[in-house]
Amino acid sequence: MSNGQSERREMPSSREMTGAEMVVQALKDNGVKHVFGYPGGAVLPIYDEIFQQDEVEHILVRHEQGAGHAAEG
């Protein structure tokens, strides 16, 4: 029976994920095996995460348009 006060349950602590870890995990969860890209400043944390695992392979291209065409097949 409740006394009108809300009970607060402690959630088990878990490690927080970085944005880069979330991106790579989402790729894995969706069955992505290859990504095509051209590394640059803003996405370097994602590249760091990609190179720390072996389920998603990065394929280096010479420019972004080439990556788009390569990804189309």
Query: pTM value?
Result: 0.74
Long-range contacts for 32-36 (Cβ within 8 Å, ≥24 apart)?
Answer: 32/56, 33/57, 34/58, 34/59, 35/59, 35/71, 36/61, 36/66, 36/67, 36/68, 36/70, 36/71
Domain extent at residue 50: 19-72
Has residue 14 been placed in a domain? no
pLDDT band at 73 (very low <50, low <70, confident <90, very high): confident
Mean pLDDT over all residues of the chain? 88
Has residue 24 been placed in a domain? yes
| Residue 17 pLDDT greater than 70, yes or no | yes
Has residue 10 been placed in a domain? no
Whole-angstrom distance, CA of residue 9 vs CA of residue 61? 49
Tell me the per-residue pLDDT of 42-71, one tens digit each, with 9 for 90 and over: 999 999 999 999 999 999 999 999 999 999
Has residue 2 been placed in a domain? no
Mean pLDDT, range 2-15, rounded to an integer: 64
Has residue 57 been placed in a domain? yes
Has residue 8 been placed in a domain? no
- For the chain, how many structural domains are there in total? 1
Has residue 62 been placed in a domain? yes
